[in-house]
Structure 1
Amino acid sequence: MSESILVIGAPDLLAEKAAWLDELRDTKRSGENTLEAYERDARQFLAFMTSYLGRPTKLSDLVALRPTDLRAFLAERRREGAGARTLGRSLSGLRSFLRFLERRGLASSAGAKAMRAPKTPKSLPRPLTVDDALAVADEGGALATEPWIGARDTAVLTLLYGCGLRISEALDLPGDALLDPLARSMRVTGKGNKTRLVPLLPAVSQAVAEYRRLCPYHLHAGEPLFRGARGGPLRPQIIQRAMARLRGALGLPESATPHALRHSFATHLLAGGGDLRAIQDLLGHASLSTTQGYTAVDGARLLSIYDGAHPRARRPRAALSSSEPVR
């Protein structure tokens, strides 16, 4: 699909597209990554429709939109190499846009509602073992070229495993975060600009304090806590590369990524008897089903938790005496 056509929609349609994105940002509090993806999907769809129609797409074209039009668009995207997850997200974004137009009496979302999203292969997260996760947190900066960089990498990886943070959440922390060594919780701003409270382990506070002690840059409140070698904001790719080096040194599988530490946080809490809904709050998930996907506990461990927690398991019913009638 070519996007060389400069005018992909009539002015009123493009204005509605901008209003839709503003609503997602200001009212729905969608994250920047979601907004960028939805904007790109809508732009690609309008470019496809413009090429399909031989003229800029109009609002009236979306009123008469049929499932076959959407299927043709998804088929074109698949030919370009888009996978099932990308296609599913594209359809989700288009449904959102069409529902927005429908509420304003400008289009119909019936065609999109009739479409079934492409099946996506289920890929369960692969958490690290407890020993491996602890080794990563302890040895996070062992391979760094400078002591302060090693302390920085250790602090970031300890935050991911010790608090269950997304890597973006850790790298977005301001320079005055985690100043109090006695603090036992901190506020984190996650997806959709939602704030949550996460507990702080002493090991996390100690790792950040050591990084502060060695960091050669002034860590002001209006600037990021974690810095790159030249003093700028630390990029996720740097931590990903540090994790790749650790994989080689510790003999860990390719699935041992920074994000796997967040999976490990959730899985190890659940394996230790943690409540799934409490873990949902700690991770900042809107849906409990998302949290379930982040945890991987073997059946034997779940039965052990059940045996220790269920009232009937804790206090077995006395055996019936021979004189008692069996009902």
Structure 2
Amino acid sequence: MDHEPVIEEFVRYLSLQGRSAHTKRLYRGRLLDIAARIAPRSLLEATPADLEAWRASLTVADISIVAYVAGVRVFYAWLTAAGRIAHNPALTIPTPRLGRRLPRPIGDDDLQMAILHAVGRVRAWLVLAGYAGLRCCEIATLRRDAIYEHAADPYMIVLGKGNKERAVNMSPYVWTELKLYGLPRKGWVFPRLDGKIGHTPAGSVTRYGNLHLHDCGIDETMHQLRHRFGTVGYQETHELRELQELMGHARLDTTAGYAAHSRRRAAALVNAIQPKPVTLQVVRNMN
């Protein structure tokens, strides 16, 4: 098939942009999926109808569909700009409209139970996600020399989306759990276990973390531990700007999507504007 060379060319282009290995792997997978569906024609010959049929076949959540389509549009915009195709067939791929979504943090009791029943690296992953707000891909790529436990305020240097580094403060609890896990002297904090060189794949952190949660009877996923970090962090401090930096968001409104308001404070607000007892008594007397 002649689609494979163009995919690899595109991946090299992404490398020049500094895209992470995880991002490149996702782009490659989506393009290979489309290529398999339109075979024996190549990706260069895809029509708008082909891409709409691929989009219709997706069975993931709406937010994932939007991300998948965005990646395909980047690929075809690149082909068009390079003069490889005359018209961009991805311009008309329909996507669902995403309404405002509330954060869905894991409950504190469930998180504590999951940590209590976890061992080894899975326990450390749960702690880093729930109490430091790290994404699974950031947990996977954490390095020992990026943990500064002797600083006045201990912190970690985390490699986030787009290969952007940020400093994440580390509580005594997080540091204690990392020590109990058994930190290496150097290199990856969570190296591969299959004998190959490198860090544990981000997909493995997601998969095995989620499996452990579900084995504990918990429906939430690893990403909802990050929701918990954002929600509790905001409710305790109301420091949305600081939370944005800690979570590695480019936009403040993205952080706001993780920071659920306090239901207790909301209830107090609603109760504060209800009619006073004397008003209710007057209404009863009138009736």
Q: Compute the TM-score of the two structures, normalised by the length of structure 1.
A: 0.64
Q: What secondary structure is seen at the aligned counterpart in 2 of 1:196? A: strand
> Are 2:67 and 1:103 aligned?
no
Q: Cα distance, 1:58 vs. partner?
A: 7.7
The counterpart of 1:19, out of the listed 9, 29, 32, is: 9
- The percentage of aligned residue pairs carrying the same residue is 27
In the TM superposition, structure 1's runs of 4+ consecutive aligned residues that sit over 6 Å from their partners are 120-123, 227-234, 302-305
Equivalent pair of 1:160/1:262 in contact (CA under 8 Å)? yes
Q: Cα distance, 1:228 vs. partner?
A: 8.8
User: Structure 2: how far apart are the matches of 1:110 and 1:284?
Assistant: 33
Partner of 1:70: 51
Q: Cα distance, 1:240 vs. partner?
A: 3.8
Q: Which runs of 5+ in 1 are unaligned?
A: 1-6, 306-327
> Are 2:143 and 1:170 aligned?
no
The counterpart of 1:160, out of the listed 109, 115, 129, is: 129
Q: Map residues 120-131 of structure 1 onto 2, 5 A cutoff.
A: 124-130=102-108
Change (3 A) 1:83 1:281: closer
User: Structure 2: how far apart are the matches of 1:258 and 1:58?
Assistant: 34
Q: Cα distance, 1:205 vs. partner?
A: 1.7
Partner of 1:57: 42
Q: Cα distance, 1:141 vs. partner?
A: 4.1
Larger-Rg structure: 1
Equivalent pair of 1:50/1:57 in contact (CA under 8 Å)? yes
Q: Cα distance, 1:127 vs. partner?
A: 0.8
The counterpart of 1:112, out of the listed 81, 90, 98, is: 90
The counterpart of 2:21, out of the listed 5, 16, 32, is: 32
1:265-295 Cα shifts (integer Å, max 9, x gaps): 1001111233323222211223434323323
Q: Cα distance, 1:166 vs. partner?
A: 1.7
Q: Which runs of 5+ in 2 are unaligned?
A: 270-287
Change (3 A) 1:167 1:93: closer
Q: What secondary structure is seen at the aligned counterpart in 2 of 1:25? A: helix
User: Structure 1: how far apart are the matches of 2:193 and 2:79?
Assistant: 48
Residue identity in the other structure for 1:199 = N
Aligned length: 262
Change (3 A) 1:302 1:30: farther
CA RMSD of aligned residues (A): 3.8
Change (3 A) 1:238 1:69: closer
Q: Compute the TM-score of the two structures, normalised by the length of structure 2.
A: 0.71
Q: What secondary structure is seen at the aligned counterpart in 2 of 1:112? A: coil
Partner of 1:313: none
Q: Cα distance, 1:300 vs. partner?
A: 5.9
Residue identity in the other structure for 2:26 = A
Change (3 A) 1:175 1:97: same
User: Structure 2: how far apart are the matches of 1:123 and 1:189?
Assistant: 26
Equivalent pair of 1:266/1:279 in contact (CA under 8 Å)? yes
Partner of 2:275: none
Partner of 2:249: 285
